[in-house]
Structures are given as C-alpha cells and as structure tokens.
Amino acid sequence: MPTLEEIEKLIEVAKDSRKNAFAFISRRPKGAAVLTKDGQYFGGCNTENAISGLGTCAERSAVDHAVVHGCYEFKALALVYPKIIFPCGACLQYLTQFSQINSKDIDIILSDLKGNYKTYLLSVLLPHGFRTTKNIAKLKSYSHKS
C-alpha cells in the first residue's frame, strides 16, 4: 500500500499530465501516473485519434513512459478525472501483465480533481485477468541497453 505522501504525489503527477491530454474527440482529458517499485513517478495522458483504436489511454501512457525509462515493476497507479472513474478493461489487463513481473498486486488510486480518492487493488478490479504461463519475472532483466 502506498503511503499518503506517495498517493498525494501520484495524484499531483497525474493532474499535471492531464493538462497535456489530446482529447479532441471526447473532450474528456484524463491523467495518470505510476509509482515504480524503486520510488520513481511517471505520468501519462490520454491521446485520441480520429481512427478508432489508435488512441492511448492515460494509464497505458503512464506505464509506457516508465518502460521507456527501463522501469517495469509498479507499486501503484493513479487515474485523475473530474469525477472518480474506473480504468477500462484493456488498461487493467495491461497492468496485470506488469504485476506478474514481481508477483505483486498494484494499488489503483482513482481521484477526482479535488483530490478525493478511492483505492482498490488491481486483482479486485480484474479478478480473472489473463496471466501468461511463461515466467514473466525474467522480463525485468530484459533490455536492449547492452
């Protein structure tokens, strides 16, 4: 469970990221942030596209931002919108893949713009998510950095 300080920082990073959302279709900018196992924060926002299916949710954007920086193990994710909303099923499944790397559940913090929030475990929001049969824990050492 993230500390109150970590939750507040996650919400702050998600709010800041929300400002950059490209939500020209829905007019519903969302911001997200992930907290890595080693204490780093990475933000993301939704990016819409005129071609359905080519956009990116804020949650996946935050995860991808962390991955670009070599971070694969997540402690928590925050999602910020004017009211408390839940991540879509695709984002929950995406996070499930990463939760397998260190076999730790991920805390999901859902916040409105005023800072009111609710916290859930990923496994509660997606209790029967698809899990790979391969040892995904080995992926945390996978890198093209060499």
pLDDT tens digit sequence for 127-145: 999 988 666 655 555 554 4
Confidence (pLDDT) at 133? 66
* pLDDT at position 146 over 70: no
What is the distance between the alpha carbons of residues 92 and 6, in angstroms, rounded to a whole number? Answer: 21
| Catalytic status, residue 59 | yes
Catalytic residue among 8, 12, 59, 73: 59
Residue type, 118: K
Out of 3.30.70.2190, 3.40.190.80, 3.40.140.10, 3.40.1160.10, select the CATH number for domain 4-141: 3.40.140.10
| Range scoring the smallest mean pLDDT among 18-32, 111-125, 130-144 | 130-144
Q: Does the pLDDT at position 23 exceed 90?
A: yes
- State the pTM of this model: 0.90
pLDDT (average), residues 78-102: 96
Q: What percent of the chain shows pLDDT beyond 70? A: 90
Distance, first Cα to last Cα, the chain: 34
Inter-CA distances, 78 with 25, 49, 116, 133, 135, Å: 23, 23, 12, 28, 27
d(C-alpha 92, C-alpha 120), whole Å: 12
